[in-house]
Amino acid sequence: MTTPLSQDLRRRIVRAVEKGSSIRQAAAHSEVSSSAAVKLMRRLRETGSVTPERIGGHRRAVLEPHQDLLRALVEGGSGITLAEIQAELRARGIEVQALSTIHLMFKRMGLTQKN
């Protein structure tokens, strides 16, 4: 996992750009990628701050809003497979790429396919 640039390094890049250096020159001088420096300067323009955003965090389950539908599918179709559930969701306009996504949602809901 990547780590954000240090605050000191961020300030040095900003100072160099403010003194007239191009963003890419400041990046090369500080030995960071041009992309990182460009994004840093864009962040400074947009927010007025050079502090990094939080990295990571909790993502809500993709299927969380569809718990009632999933429960109905499991309770209504005896012996329904994950692939059949995926096809049913797709038919209703809910795209789920991996069967594990459905399985993990069932686990969160405390359901098994044998309920």
Q: Is the pTM of this model over 0.85?
A: no
Q: Please tell me the predicted confidence (pLDDT) of residue 58.
A: 74
- Please report how many Cα atoms fall inside a 13 Å half-sphere around the Cα of residue 25, on the Cβ side: 8
User: What is the mean predicted confidence (pLDDT) over 105-112?
Assistant: 86
Q: Is the pLDDT of residue 115 over 50?
A: no
C-beta separation of 85 from 102 below 8 A: yes
**Site of tokens 């090369």:** 28
List, for residues 21-70, the tens digit of each pLDDT value. 999 999 999 999 999 999 999 999 999 999 988 877 777 788 999 999 99
Q: Please tell me the predicted confidence (pLDDT) of residue 36.
A: 93
CA 75 to chain centre: 32
Q: Is the pLDDT of residue 113 over 60?
A: no
In 3D space, the residue among 76, 42, 50, 61 whose CA is nearest the CA of residue 109 turns out to be: 61
Residue 98 in tokens? 């991996």
Amino acid identity, residue 83? Answer: A
